[in-house]
Chains A and B, each alone.
Chain A
């Protein structure tokens, strides 16, 4: 299919074919999630669930690719669905217009091959880790703050977030630094690349590792998190 011809060669024909069968749940359709959904859809990941209970507001316009003057006040998850209809109508995008909670997490996440953590609260990230572990689904974690970002790939039972966030209900630097336009795009790209490798069992992933990026000082550090 011509649409995917530039995906070829870096992936085999079989791998390209497989993509349409995968189900990926993207939790959060904001700074990270908007870019992630766009890239998953253009790659040809066949089934995407987009979860977000929020609507767009003006503070999202500096970085969230799904936000613009017309989408202000509209559901982020439904906007993702409309965007995917334009970008790649072959993709089934299921919007969930609810905030993920203890009560609904397992029902929302059930049946997916992979979960992508694109949320904005540290305690919600732990909720994803716990639910995904029970459901035996891997997670690709990403977070940003100002010039800084991080990515890790978490398999069921790894509990990597326990090492990344010793304070489970704490706040990150984003409260101090905000989030610009370029950091989410960078971290989202790495999350999608990790996701593709996990789905296809290719390459080396960031399992039990954390990639920590400081764009201000150009530090790109992969740290081992195994004790």
Chain B
């Protein structure tokens, strides 16, 4: 099934804002970030179809996930 992955700030290593991937049925974000070599501690905010989401929710064909890394300085 097709999932659109949007990575933000320094997670965007190849400079592409949106990347489409084909994953097997029943995949969740936790497994996707492992496949993409994104560390779990680098996931500050996760949006699924633009809404706040949890890392272990099963995704559906056509979903969009957006991943933002943590910012904590002043």
Which residues of A does B touch, CB under 8 Å?
28, 30-33, 118-122, 125, 142-145, 147-150, 163-167, 170-177, 179, 184, 210, 212, 214, 216-217, 219, 221, 223-227
Contact = CB atoms under 8 A, between A and B. Distances in A.
Nearest to A123: B72
Interface in B25-52: 41, 43-45, 47, 50-52
A30 B74 contact: yes
A143 B52 contact: no
A214 to B, nearest CB: 5
Contacts, number: 97
A148 B73 CA distance: 10
Contacts of B70: 122, 165, 167, 170-173
A174 B73 contact: yes
B9 A147 contact: yes
A173 B69 contact: yes
A212 B69 CA distance: 10
Contacts of B66: 223
Contact of A143 (B8, B9, B12, B71): B71
B50 A224 contact: yes
A61 B45 CA distance: 31
A28 B12 CA distance: 31
A100 to B, nearest CB: 13
A176 B74 CA distance: 14
Interface string B47-74: 1001110000000000000101111111
